[in-house]
C-alpha cells in the first residue's frame, strides 16, 4: 500500500485529495473511474490512509498506529463492501454493509470510510438504497465508489458524488517504471508500454505474463510471414489462437501497433519513432512493398474485425476476412 507520493501520475486527483484534506473539505461521496489496473484502488487506499493518519498531514506517515493498521489491511474504520454474487451488488449488500452500520461512530478515527469496488455492478435497487445514505450522511462518513464504468450509475448518484476520472499515463512514464523497477529490457518495455496504452497495471501484468509472451511470438511470426502464407495456413493460425485460448482482442491490438509502426516509418523514415525498434529491418522491408492505401485498408480491416467480434459475428469469419486483407496489402 502506497501514499500519494508513491503513486505514478494522476496528479490532478492526488492534488484534489490533498487540498480536500488540508482545507477540511472532504466530501461524503467520491467516484473513482478508470480502467482495471490504472490505480483506482491505490488512490482510494492512499486517500483513506491519509485521512486516518494520526499526524494529520497531506501524506500518510506510515508509522502511526492507524497507518500500520491500514498497511496490514486491518483498520476498523475502513469497510470494504463485498458481494456474494460475482455479477452484481444487491440491495441487501448495501443495506447490511453500509446503511445498517453507518450510524455507528468510528472506533478510533474521525472518519469512517466505505470502499465499494466494482461499484458499476450495483443494481438499481442497491443504488437507490445507497442514495438515501449519500443524501443524509453522518459527518464522519466517506463513501468511495470505484468503477470501470460510471455510466452504470443513476444520474442521482452521479450528481451527489465528486467524480474523479483516472487518465492514462504517458508511455515514457510506464516504460521508465518497467525498466527501472522491474528490470525489463528497454526494447521490450517500449512495446509493453505502447500496448498498455497508459495503463500501468496492464503493463506490469503483460511484462510478467507467459501468455502474453506466447501471444507476442505467435502474432509477430504471423505478421512477418503473412505475405507468403496460403489460406489453409491462415486458417490454421486462427485455429491455434483459439486452441491456445489467447486473447483475440489483445492480438488485434498488437496488430494495430505493428501496422502503425509500418505506416509511421513510411511517412517519416525515422526508426526512433518505432515501437518495434528491434524489428526495424522487417518493418523497413514491409514498408517498401506497401502502399499508403494498402496500410490504411489493413488498419481499417483490424477495426472492422473488432467491431464484428463485439457484435458476436463468427470469430473465424471475422479473422479470416481481416487476415486476407493483410495478405493482399
Question: What are the residues whose beta carbons fall under 8 Å from the beta carbon of 292, sequence distance 6 or more?
Answer: 263, 266
Mean pLDDT along residues 271-287: 88
Fold of 4-165: Rossmann fold (3.40.50)
Whole-number Å distance between alpha carbons of 10 and 160:
22
Show me where the domains of the chain are located: 4-165, 209-328
Q: Which three cell numbers stand for residue 165?
A: 476520472
Which residue would you say has higher pLDDT here, 231 or 146?
Answer: 146
| CATH number for the domain whose boundaries are 209-328 | 1.20.272
DSSP 119: G
CA 249-250-251 angle, 5° bins: 90
How many other C-beta atoms can be found within 10 angstroms of the C-beta atom of residue 242? 13
Whole-number Å distance between alpha carbons of 220 and 251:
10
Would you give the distance in Å from CA 204 to the centre of its chain?
Answer: 11
% of the chain at pLDDT higher than 70: 100
- Supply φ then ψ for residue 154, to 5 degrees: -65, 145
pLDDT, tens digit (0-9, with 9 covering 90-100), for 133-174: 999 999 999 999 999 999 999 999 999 999 999 999 999 999
pLDDT, tens digit (0-9, with 9 covering 90-100), for 291-304: 999 999 999 999 99
Structure confidence at residue 15 as a pLDDT band (50, 70, 90): very high
Structure confidence at residue 187 as a pLDDT band (50, 70, 90): confident
Mean pLDDT along residues 31-51: 94
Amino acid at each position: 500500500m502506497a501514499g500519494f507520493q508513491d503513486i505514478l501520475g494522476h496528479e490532478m486527483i492526488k492534488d484534489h485529495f490533498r487540498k480536500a484534506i488540508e482545507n477540511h473539505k472532504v466530501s461524503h461521496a467520491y467516484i473513482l473511474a478508470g480502467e482495471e489496473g490504472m490505480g483506482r484502488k491505490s488512490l482510494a487506499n492512499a486517500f483513506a490512509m491519509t485521512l486516518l493518519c494520526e499526524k494529520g498531514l497531506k501524506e500518510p506517515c506510515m508509522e502511526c498506529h492507524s497507518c500500520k493498521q491500514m498497511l496490514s489491511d486491518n483498520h476498523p474504520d475502513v469497510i470494504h463492501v463485498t458481494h456474494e454474487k460475482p455479477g452484481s451488488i444487491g440491495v441487501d449488500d448495501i443495506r447490511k454493509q453500509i446503511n445498517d452500520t453507518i450510524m455507528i461512530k468510528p472506533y478510533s478515527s474521525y472518519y469512517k470510510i466505505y470502499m465499494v469496488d466494482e461499484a458499476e455492478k450495483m443494481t438499481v435497487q442497491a443504488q437507490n438504497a445507497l442514495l438515501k445514505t449519500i443524501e443524509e450522511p453522518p459527518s464522519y462518513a466517506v463513501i468511495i465508489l470505484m468503477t470501470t464504468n460510471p455510466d452504470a450509475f443513476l444520474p442521482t448518484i452521479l450528481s451527489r458524488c465528486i467524480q474523479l476520472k483516472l487518465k492514462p499515463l504517458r508511455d515514457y512514464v510506464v516504460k521508465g517504471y518497467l525498466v527501472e523497477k522491474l528490470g525489463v529490457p528497454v526494447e521490450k518495455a517500449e512495446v509493453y508500454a505502447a500496448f498498455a496504452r497508459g495503463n500501468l497495471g496492464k503493463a506490469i501484468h503483460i511484462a510478467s505474463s507467459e501468455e502474453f509472451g506466447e501471444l507476442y511470438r505467435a502474432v509477430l511470426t504471423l505478421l512477418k510471414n503473412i505475405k507468403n502464407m496460403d489460406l489453409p495456413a491462415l486458417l490454421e493460425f486462427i485455429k491455434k489462437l483459439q486452441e491456445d485460448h489467447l486473447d483475440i482482442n489483445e492480438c488485434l491490438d498488437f496488430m494495430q501497433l505493428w501496422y502503425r509502426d509500418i505506416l509511421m516509418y513510411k511517412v517519416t523514415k525515422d526508426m526512433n519513432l518505432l515501437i518495434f525498434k528491434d524489428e526495424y529491418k522487417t518493418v523497413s522491408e514491409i514498408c517498401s512493398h506497401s502502399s499508403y492505401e494498402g496500410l490504411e485498408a489493413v488498419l481499417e480491416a483490424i477495426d472492422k474485425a473488432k467491431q464484428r467480434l463485439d457484435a458476436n459475428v463468427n470469430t473465424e469469419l471475422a479473422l479470416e476476412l481481416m487476415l486476407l486483407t493483410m495478405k493482399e496489402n
